Amino acid sequence: MKILLIGEYSNLHNSLKKGLLNMGHEVILLGNGDGFKKYEVDFLIKSTIFENKFLKIIAKIIDRIFRFSLNELEIYFKSKKIIKKLADFDIVQLINESPFNTSANLEIRLLKYIFKNNKKVFLLACGVDNKSIKYAYDKKFRYSVLTPYFENNSLKKEYRHILKYLNSDYSKLSNYIKKNIQGIISSDLDYHIPYVNTKKYLGMIPNPINIDALNDDGNSDSKKIIILHAINSKNKLKKGNKYFEKSLSIIEAKYSNKVEIIRTIDKAYSDHIKNVKNCKILLDQVYAYDQGYNALEAMAMGKVVLTGAEKEWREYYNIVEDYVVINAMPNVSYLVEKLSWLIENPEKIKIISKNAREFILEYHDYKTVTKKYLKAWEN
């Protein structure tokens, strides 16, 4: 089949593309490479306005005064030019409801061409969208990416790029997409839960992880337990990084002779994965019920990850607590307790590392997951 994947988040579509190519399908991936992470795409669509200091200042002034983004306009015209060359695909999959990363109204204009000139279009529930943010905004989760906003409304400016999915333009975009697609697939439980009983929802397909490219071959000579805290500056609020930072300050003072802590900010994927290879423990996020892509890739490499692993996830996979991953919560004392337990019981690190790799092999192997996508697309 001819398959077009639009948008990329954390290597998801790249791993799916690898599985599809291995099975003999023709696959094109277009997107912005997920920003600073710089994932490979066949057609790169990104704004370059901010690369020019003068244009960056002008763009920010226009955005602040008129709430009009020159970045989004640039992305629209670049996307329009590229998609005119792409048609007659058997399958198109959108990474989420804003696959081109432009404004809601401009997304609709681009998607009209996609729907008109291709056979089947599917939507991934991944990243942020109208339904998942509405579910979180209504406080149906015990905690979510919106928890920091609920605790401090002065963060409204920092959250405007998430809260915008609740406005009428993005509701219109969401309804337009759902009217024209063949089906919706979620990537993990944080999206599956809001979509249960939704029309056209086909269920959850676990994130595909390219296990062939991820092995525990770290070559660190450190005799200490290396803990990696890799921060995405744009997402640090919704990931709860402040809880990890406060916990690490305590751990650093308590176990200075046993641990080495590596802190990074906005590393390109190629650099980030090298740091993951050398660590033993990775700190991911505290507001999730399930693991995101960063956590899953680290688990595939046999790392102990503190991330989402709530009771809903444990029940779904029938897994006991602290068996393959450590559930992270927005509580410093709790995080210090879990980290201390690992540091004082290094044999637990070896056991969880082994279990983590085996879990990824069983549920997230990109070759198996690819077959699940193909089956879903047949509907």
* Domain interval for residue 226: 212-363
Q: Which residue has 């249960």 as its token pair?
A: 196
Judge residue 57's burial from the number of C-beta atoms within 10 Å of its C-beta, 0-12 exposed, 13-18 middle, 19 or more buried.
Answer: exposed
pTM: 0.90
Closest CA to 303 of 203, 220, 182: 220
Both 172 and 65 in one domain: the answer is yes
Q: 176 with 155, same domain? A: yes
CA 146-36-288 angle, to 5 degrees, is 25
* DSSP reduced 3-state for 91: strand
* Closest residue by Cα to residue 331 from 305, 299, 306: 306
Nearest residue to 283 via CA among 254, 262, 259 = 262
322 lies in the same domain as 336? yes
Task: Kindly tell me the number of DSSP H helices and DSSP E strands found in the chain.
Answer: 17, 12
CATH of the domain at 216: 3.40.50.2000
| Residue 101 and residue 154 in one domain | yes
Q: What is the DSSP letter of 154?
A: G
Angle CA(172)–CA(176)–CA(177) in degrees, nearest 5?
120
- The per-residue pLDDT for 37 is 83
The string of pLDDT tens digits covering residues 225-251 is 999 999 999 889 999 999 999 999 999
pLDDT of residue 324: 97
> Residue type at 84?
K
Specify the CATH number for the domain of residue 151. Answer: 3.40.50
User: What's the longest Cα–Cα distance across the chain?
Assistant: 62
Kindly state whether residues 199 and 274 are assigned to the same domain.
no
pLDDT of residue 218: 55
Tokens coding 200: 């056209």
The answer to whether residues 138 and 250 belong to one domain is no
Residue spans of the chain under pLDDT 50:
none
Looking at the structure, do residues 141 and 159 belong to the same domain, yes or no?
yes
Residue 264 in contact with residue 321, Cβ under 8 Å? no
Residues 156 and 219 in one domain: no
b/e sequence 200-237, b meaning 16+ C-beta within 10 Å: ebbebbbbbbbbeebeeebeeeeeebbbbbbbbeeebb
What's the helix, strand, coil split of the chain in %, to 5? 50, 15, 35
Per-residue pLDDT of 332-376, as tens digits, reads 999 999 999 999 999 999 999 999 999 999 999 999 999 999 999
Please state, in angstroms and rounded to a whole number, the distance separating the CA atoms of residues 34 and 306.
23
Q: Do 191 and 338 have their domain in common?
A: no
The predicted structure's pLDDT at residue 65: 67
**89 shares its domain with 9:** yes
Residue-wise DSSP of 105-143: HHHHHHHHHHHHHSSEEEEEE-S--HHHHHHHHTT-SSS
For residues 379 and 375, give the distance between their C-alpha atoms in angstroms, rounded to a whole number. Answer: 7
Q: How many domains does the chain have?
A: 2
Q: Judge if 20 and 105 occupy the same domain.
A: yes
pLDDT at 215: 80
199 and 178, same structural domain? yes
Question: Do β-strands 201-204 and 183-186 pair in parallel, antiparallel, or remain unpaired?
Answer: parallel
What pLDDT, on a 0 to 100 scale, did the predictor assign at position 223? 86
Token pair, residue 149, equals 């906003």
Both tokens assigned to 368: 């198996």
